[in-house]
């Protein structure tokens, strides 16, 4: 029965990868993908981006762990998570242009579905800080409706599910200090110098 065992293994891996890619296209076409994911190259390594029909819902740095990110999306949004890079073509293109210094704002829509309440208001306020300028924790807290809640604003930004696109790196301490960054302070510095702020 050696023949049979060989029969099963031969090329099944490569062939099934091709079949799975075609499956993603068909699933997309039939509207069966609630959360589409893709990998995007960046100066920090490979990012994972995820979109719902409403817009970009998640951007994860390489250190976040692919499995954890997918689990999070499945339990918070829908288990119908599938790698379907074509739906994220626009996101990938705009991010690449941004990293090359050829883009100052993102045109694709954003979905804040992974956030609630004050956190979401802080992130929406942060999204309005333009390229090349900065704000403070107190200012975004104020725009979110509570200027005294600057610590809570810091926490909200630390849990930002869509860094870079919702530019939490543009929020600094009132005293002029860089403040924190979940992705690591080097990344914050890198992004601010890319934008000519630092």
Partner 1 sequence: MSVPPFSSFLEEHRVLVYRFLAATVGPDNADDCFQETFLSALRAYPRLDAGANLRAWILTIAGRKAIDHERRRKRRAVPVGEVPDRVTLAPPDGEPEVWRAVRELPPMQRAAVVHRYVLDMPYREVAEALGCSEEAARANALEARRRLRTRLATVKEER
Chain residues that interact with partner 1, rule: CB under 8 A: 1, 3-5, 7-9, 12-13, 15-20, 22-23, 26-27, 30, 32-33, 37, 67, 70-71, 73-75, 78-83
Q: The sheet that has 55-60: what strands, in order across it?
A: 55-60, 47-52, 35-40, 81-83
E strand spans, the chain: 35-40, 47-52, 55-60, 81-83, 135-136, 171-172
Q: How far is the CB of 20 from partner 1 (least distance, A)?
A: 6
Is the dihedral angle over the CA atoms 97, 98, 102, 104 positive or is it negative? Answer: positive
Nearer to partner 1, 32 or 185 (CB): 32
Q: How far is the CB of 85 from partner 1 (least distance, A)?
A: 12
Q: How far is the CB of 113 from partner 1 (least distance, A)?
A: 16
Nearer to partner 1, 81 or 192 (CB): 81
Nearer to partner 1, 48 or 144 (CB): 48
Which residues in 81-120 are b (16+ Cβ under 10 Å) and which e?
bbbbbebbeebbebbeebbeeeeeebeeebbbbbbeebbe
Count the residues in the chain. Answer: 198
Q: In angstroms, how far is CA 72 from the centroid of its own chain?
A: 13
Residues that are catalytic: 168
Q: How far is the CB of 76 from partner 1 (least distance, A)?
A: 10
Nearer to partner 1, 73 or 110 (CB): 73
């Amino acid at each position: 029965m050696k023949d049979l065992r060989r029969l099963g293994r031969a090329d099944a891996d490569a062939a099934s990868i091709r079949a799975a890619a075609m499956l993603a296209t068909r699933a997309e076409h039939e509207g069966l993908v609630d959360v589409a994911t893709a990998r995007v190259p960046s100066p920090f390594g490979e990012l994972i981006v995820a979109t719902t029909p409403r817009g970009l819902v998640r951007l994860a740095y390489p250190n976040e762990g692919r499995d954890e990110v997918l689990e999070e999306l499945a339990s918070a949004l829908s288990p119908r998570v599938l790698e379907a890079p074509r739906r994220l073509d626009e996101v990938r293109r705009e991010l690449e242009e941004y990293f090359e210094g050829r883009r100052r704002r993102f045109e694709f829509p954003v979905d804040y579905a992974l956030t609630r309440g004050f956190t979401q208001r802080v992130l929406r306020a942060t999204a309005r800080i333009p390229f090349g300028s900065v704000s403070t924790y107190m200012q975004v807290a104020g725009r979110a409706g509570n200027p005294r809640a600057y610590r809570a604003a810091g926490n909200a930004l630390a849990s930002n599910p869509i860094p870079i696109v919702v530019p939490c790196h543009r929020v600094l301490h009132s005293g002029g200090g860089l403040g924190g960054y979940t992705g690591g302070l080097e990344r914050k510095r890198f992004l601010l110098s890319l934008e000519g702020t630092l």
